[in-house]
Amino acid sequence: MSKSHLELTGVEMAFDTPKGPFVALDNINLKIQKGEFVSLIGHSGCGKSTVLNIVAGLLQATKGGCVLDGHEVNSPGPERAVVFQNHALMPWLTVYENVELAVQQVFRKSMGKQERRDWIHHNLELVNMAHAADKRPGEVSGGMAQRVGIARALAMKPSVLLMDEPFGALDALTRAHLQDSLMEIQQELNNTVIMITHDVDEAVLLSDRIIMMTNGPEATVGEDLYIDLPRPRNRVTLADNPEYVHYRQEVLRFLYEKQRKLEHISPRRSGKPEASKSKQSEAQAARA
């Protein structure tokens, strides 16, 4: 009998708020196989980061739970590396030391000193940050700090890589370069990836599966789309591939539908950061 590698069952997340419990997620059920690349997509505030934080063990579901390789997840662990939405580096450590901290945690016993040093440099080179190894997070740009966060996560060779909008703050060229590197690394290591993105093209290019979430509150899995495109994938040749075009249209259709529902509930939301973010994904949808 084949058991799921990662399984979310009946997950509810209710946050305590001054106005009473706020049910962000309701009845999320997901089975993910080893080595699957899964993207989570959905409008701003629907609960994507909350799902990721539950898998990371940073949040405990109020009902149901998450099981990884037969063990219930209730705390963070080095086999589940996280790339946060806001990069979350230690500000007092240099770029090199931030990656070193994670590498020490995982490989102190299995790698020699020089091997660890080479491995840290290799990962910094991968994200094109080796030149800034001695700088502190406060001395580099947001996009650069984000790349260090990616290097730190990759350097842990995690069996599950959790990424919250990892490429959102990067310029197009760096973004494309890192997307390609991530695809290569993932093929090589066969790690499971759960990535949150607002970018439809990114989701289709990288994923084996796109989980589309309904709008919150009480958000759940709306659609589960399998992306059956051969690997390795090449962004240039895929652009005209009818299957690829079909997949991205499916995702756009879903997002537009949910956008209409949002506008129906709250037609005048402009000015608030949340609204501008959902406008951002709408603009992305329109651009595509």
The site for ligand ATP (CB under 6 A) is made up of: 15, 17, 22, 24, 42, 44-50, 216, 277
Task: Give min distance, CB of 52 to ligand ATP, in A.
Answer: 8
Task: Give min distance, CB of 285 to Mg ion, in A.
Answer: 17
In the list ligand ATP, Mg ion, none, the entry touching 209 (Cβ below 5 to 8 angstroms by class) is: none
Q: Does 197 bind Mg ion (CB under 5 A)?
A: no
In the list Mg ion, ligand ATP, none, the entry touching 24 (Cβ below 5 to 8 angstroms by class) is: ligand ATP
> Given the complex with ligand ATP, which of 177 and 277 has the nearer CB atom?
277
Q: Does 49 bind Mg ion (CB under 5 A)?
A: yes
Q: Is the dihedral of CA 264, 270, 276, 277 positive or negative?
A: negative
> Given the complex with ligand ATP, which of 42 and 96 has the nearer CB atom?
42
Alpha-helical segments (H) within 58-137: 95-107, 113-126
The single-letter code of the amino acid at 37 is: F
Q: Does 94 bind Mg ion (CB under 5 A)?
A: no
> Given the complex with Mg ion, which of 49 and 278 has the nearer CB atom?
49
Where does this chain touch Mg ion (CB under 5 A) — which range of 47-55, 139-147, 186-194, 237-245? 47-55
For residue 188, how many C-alpha atoms fall within 13 Å in the half-sphere facing its CB?
A: 9
> Given the complex with ligand ATP, which of 47 and 137 has the nearer CB atom?
47
Q: Does 123 bind Mg ion (CB under 5 A)?
A: no
The single-letter code of the amino acid at 215 is: N
Relative to beta strand 192-196, strand 37-41 is parallel
Q: Are 282 and 259 in contact (CB under 8 A)?
A: yes
Written as six digits, the tokens of 132 are: 């800034």
Question: What's the N-to-C CA distance of the chain in angstroms?
Answer: 42
CA distance 15 to 17: 6
CA distance 63 to 44: 23
Task: Give min distance, CB of 59 to Mg ion, in A.
Answer: 12
> Given the complex with Mg ion, which of 4 and 284 has the nearer CB atom?
284
Q: Are 152 and 96 in contact (CB under 8 A)?
A: no
Task: Give min distance, CB of 217 to ligand ATP, in A.
Answer: 7
> Given the complex with ligand ATP, which of 115 and 263 has the nearer CB atom?
263
CA distance 166 to 150: 7
Rg (CA), the chain: 19
Task: Give min distance, CB of 73 to ligand ATP, in A.
Answer: 17
- Given the rule CB under 5 A, which residues bind Mg ion? 49
